[in-house]
Structure 1
Amino acid sequence: MIEHIGISTDQGRFDGLAAGPDDGRGVLLLHGFPQASTEWEHQLATLSAAGYRAVAPDQRGYSPDVRPERPEDYSIEDLAADVIRMADELGWAKFDLVGHDWGGNVAWHTAAEHPDRVRTLAVVSIPHPGAYAHALKTDEDQQQRSSYIPTLQNVRGAEKQLLANDAAALKQLYEGVVPRDHVREYVERLSEPGALVAALNWYRGIKYSGRTDKVKVPTLYVWGTEDVAFGSTAALATEDWVEGPYRFEMFQDIGHWLPEQADEGLSRLLLEHLSQHG
C-alpha cells in the first residue's frame, strides 16, 4: 500500500509517497526533472514488500509549500540540506539514499557531505558531478548532450514555451517512454502556478552551487546506454569519484527514464545493493 504523506520541516511541508512498515530500514528516493515522487511507484512497492520503509518526497519547488521564487534558493547545498531535514523529521539517524537525474545530483552531494548519515547510495542516470564537469570540458559528445541546459537557464519565458499548446513541448520529453498516467500527473503538477518556474530554478541555481567531493559510502550507479543527457565518458569515469565499495550497472538500449523504463530491473538492483550493504 502506497500512502500520501507530508514531511514538515523549517522550510515548509514536503509532500510525498511512502510505503512499508514504519519501523523498517529507511530508504529515501529523490526524483528528477521534470517528474515527481510518482516516478518511484514500482520501487516503493518492491522495497516495502521486502520490509523497507521507502519514502519518495516531492522536492523543493515541486511541493507547493516549499517553492521559493529566487534561483539562488536552489543551490545544491540547499537541496541537500532539505534531504537531511527530511531524514531528521522521519527520525532516521542513518538512511539509504536513492536518486535519479537531478535527484541523483542531490544524492551525490548529500552522500559526499554526510557520510555519517547516508548508509548507502544508489544513483540512476546522472554521473558524479565531478565526472560530469570534466566530461563537459573535454568531451564533444557530452557537450552536445548538455546543449539544452543554457536554454532552460537563460531563455526568458522558457516555462511558457514548455507549457504552450497544452504543454506539447513538455509532453514530448516523455513521449513513448513514460507511462501515460505518470505523464498526466507530471504535466498537471508542473502546470500549477509557479511550479515549472521552480523546477527550472534547479538549473538556474547551478551558478550558486559549490563542488561535490568524492563519495565514501557504498555506491551503486546505474546508467542506460541510450541516455540522451549523459554519455559514456562521464558514466565510465564516475568510479574515480567513489572511494567506497562501488558497483556500476548498464542497461542496454534503455534511455534516461530508467525508474519507469526498467522498473523491475532497477528494483532488483536496489534490493541487491541494500542487502549487500546492510
Structure 2
Amino acid sequence: MELQRVALSTGVELDVASAGDPAAPAMIFLHGFPESHRTWRHQMADLSRDHFVIAPDQRGFARSSKPEGVEEYAPAKTVADLFALADHFGIRGFTLVGHDWGGAIAWIAALQNPQRVRRLIILNAPHPLVFQRSMFDGSGQREASQYIRAFRNPDLEKHIAAIGVEGFFDTTFVKHADPALMADERAAYLDQWSQPGAMTAMLNWYRASTVVVPATGEEATPPGWLDGPFPPLTQPVLVIWGMKDGALLPVQLDGLDAVVDDLTVVRIADAGHFVTWEKPAPVNAAIREWLAVKGDG
C-alpha cells in the first residue's frame, strides 16, 4: 500500500493508505478507536486486486492532524473529512466501510448522502438510533458502555501519563482481542499513541459525541428524539459482527431491519470487537460475496 499525506479542504492533513487501480470501483475504509488505517490491512490487500481502496488515518489518530478542541472531533467534522477525501481522489460514488468509530461516522455519512455512499459495510459499529435506545432498554449495553463515561473524563490523560501508554495498552485495549494477535501489533499501537497530542485527540471523539450514556443504575430520561421518526437507509447495507464483542454487544443487531431497507447481517461467532484482523478470512469472504450480489460499480 502507498501511504501519502493528503491536505483536505476541511483544514486537516491525513496520512492516507491506498492501493489498486484508481479506475476501478472505489472503496473507502474508516477505522475506529484506538487504531489507524492498519485496521484494514487484510481487507485492502485482498480487495485491491479489483478495487481502488483508500484508508485514512482519521483526524486525531497516528500522525494525522490533531486540531485542538473537543469541537474539532464532532461527527460533522469527521463526516466532512470523508467527503473531502473522496473529492481529493476525484471519487463521486463509492462503497463505504467502517469499524467502531469509523462505522459510526459511516452510518451518518450514508444517511446524509446516499447519492455518494452507494453501498455501506459496517463492522461492529452500532446504528445511532439502535445504540441510543440500547442505553435505556435494560439489554446490558449501558453497563458495557461505561468506558465511554471514563473516556470523557477530562482527567483521564493524567492517569494515562502516570501509567504510560504501555500501561494503558496492557490494562484496557489488550483485553478486547486475542492477546497473541495484540502482542504482534503492540509496537505499532504504542508508536501511534505516543505521538504528541494523540491520546487527547483520540479521546475527544468520545467527548464530542452527543450520545447519552447514563451511569449504571441511574434514573435517566431518554432523549426525546428517540420517539420521533428516523429516516431509513435506502442503499444496500452489509453488517458484519464479531459476536464476542464485550464493548458493543450483539444486541446492536436487534431492530436494524426497521431502519435499513436492504440489510444483510453476517455473524462471526468466534470473533470479538476487532473482527477485521482477528478473523480476516471470513470478513473478506463476506464482503466479496455481498459485493458479488449487490454490485460494486
CA distance in 2, matches of 1:65, 1:263: 26
Deviates more, 1:173-182 or 1:24-33: 173-182
CA distance in 2, matches of 1:174, 1:195: 18
| Aligned twin of 1:226 | 244
1:262 to 2:279 alignment: yes
State which structure, 1 or 2, has the greater radius of gyration over its C-alpha atoms: 2
What SS class does the counterpart of residue 48 from structure 2 fall into?
A: helix
| Conserved 8 A contact 1:171-1:187 | no
| Aligned twin of 2:12 | 12
Identify if the C-alpha distance between structure 1 residues 190 and 261 changes in structure 2 by more than 3 Å, giving closer, same or farther: same
| Conserved 8 A contact 1:127-1:238 | no
CA distance in 2, matches of 1:258, 1:177: 14
Pick from 251, 273, 278 the counterpart of residue 290 of structure 2. Answer: 273
| Conserved 8 A contact 1:100-1:125 | yes
| Aligned twin of 1:162 | 160
Structure 1 residues not aligned, in runs of 5+ = none
| Conserved 8 A contact 1:177-1:261 | no
Q: Provide the aligned C-alpha RMSD in A.
A: 2.1
| Conserved 8 A contact 1:61-1:198 | yes
CA distance in 2, matches of 1:165, 1:208: 28
| Aligned twin of 2:215 | none
CA distance in 1, matches of 2:259, 2:241: 16
| Conserved 8 A contact 1:177-1:257 | no
Superposition map of 1:63-74 within 5 A: 64-74=63-73
| Aligned twin of 1:238 | 256
What's the CA shift string for 1:172-218, capped at 9, x where partnerless? 41351644343321221111110110000000001399988432210
Following superposition, the deviation at residue 165 of structure 1 comes to 3.9
| Aligned twin of 2:219 | none
What SS class does the counterpart of residue 219 from structure 1 fall into?
A: strand
Identify if the C-alpha distance between structure 1 residues 112 and 161 changes in structure 2 by more than 3 Å, giving closer, same or farther: same
CA distance in 2, matches of 1:208, 1:133: 6
The one-letter code sitting in structure 2 at the alignment partner of 1:224 is G
| Conserved 8 A contact 1:32-1:103 | yes
CA distance in 1, matches of 2:193, 2:242: 26
CA distance in 1, matches of 2:170, 2:51: 33
| Aligned twin of 1:95 | 94
Identify if the C-alpha distance between structure 1 residues 272 and 177 changes in structure 2 by more than 3 Å, giving closer, same or farther: farther
Superposition map of 1:25-64 within 5 A: 25-49=25-49, 51-62=50-61, 64=63
CA distance in 2, matches of 1:162, 1:234: 30
The one-letter code sitting in structure 1 at the alignment partner of 2:282 is G
Deviates more, 1:36-45 or 1:4-13: 4-13
Pick from 186, 203, 224 the counterpart of residue 183 of structure 1. Answer: 186
CA distance in 2, matches of 1:76, 1:249: 27
Deviates more, 1:71-80 or 1:110-119: 71-80
The one-letter code sitting in structure 2 at the alignment partner of 1:12 is V
Structure 2 residues not aligned, in runs of 5+ = 213-222
CA distance in 2, matches of 1:128, 1:110: 12
CA distance in 2, matches of 1:179, 1:114: 36
CA distance in 1, matches of 2:239, 2:281: 16
CA distance in 1, matches of 2:64, 2:248: 31
CA distance in 2, matches of 1:142, 1:207: 17
What TM-score do the two structures reach when normalised by structure 2? 0.86
Percent of aligned pairs with the same residue?
A: 30
Identify if the C-alpha distance between structure 1 residues 127 and 238 changes in structure 2 by more than 3 Å, giving closer, same or farther: farther
| Conserved 8 A contact 2:96-2:117 | yes
